[in-house]
Amino acid sequence: MSAPVFSSLVGQEAAIAQLERALTSNQTGNEMTHAWLFTGPPGSGRSVIAHSFAAALVCKKKGCGNCNDCLTALTGTHQDVEIMKIDGLTIKVDEIREVVSRASWTTSTSNWRVIVVEDSDRMTESA
């Protein structure tokens, strides 16, 4: 049974299982990769799964879906979760440099600083 924070995802059982294994592995002292890339066509749920994974990372119960950490992460207001949405056609190198700089900031309330870059395929080649 998957964590409640992943309950809105349909047809993504394999991806959810992989993310939950990573969460469990991390909580048992194993290191987790520093970056994840979610790909798929529009409407495939890549943003939803990225936001859900962000919530699970900052949740003390691995994605309960009900605590303050989950709720604020899912709504984009958690101190340690940043959602980068782009208004223009491209993501410029200076914008990515800013994100990389903020990624090194100390966390406020959780063990992870999570930055979700939506539509990362819009990055310019230099970004």
> Residues 25-52: what's their mean pLDDT?
84
- DSSP code, position 80: T
Check whether 103 has a pLDDT greater than 80.
yes
Q: What is the pLDDT of residue 70?
A: 96
Fold classified for 4-122: Rossmann fold (3.40.50)
Task: Say which residue, 25 or 102, is predicted with more confidence.
Answer: 102
Give SS3 for 3.
coil
Looking at per-residue confidence, does 118 or 56 come out higher?
Answer: 56
pLDDT 10s digits, 44-85: 888 999 999 999 999 998 899 999 999 999 999 999 999 998
DSSP tag of 86: -
What is the model's pTM?
0.86
- pLDDT category of residue 29 using cuts at 50, 70 and 90: low
What are the extents of the domains in the chain?
Answer: 4-122
Q: What is the pLDDT of residues 2-13, one digit of tens each?
A: 789 999 888 889
Distance CA 19, CA 56 (A): 9
Centre a 10 Å sphere on the Cβ of residue 39 and count the other Cβ atoms it contains: 8
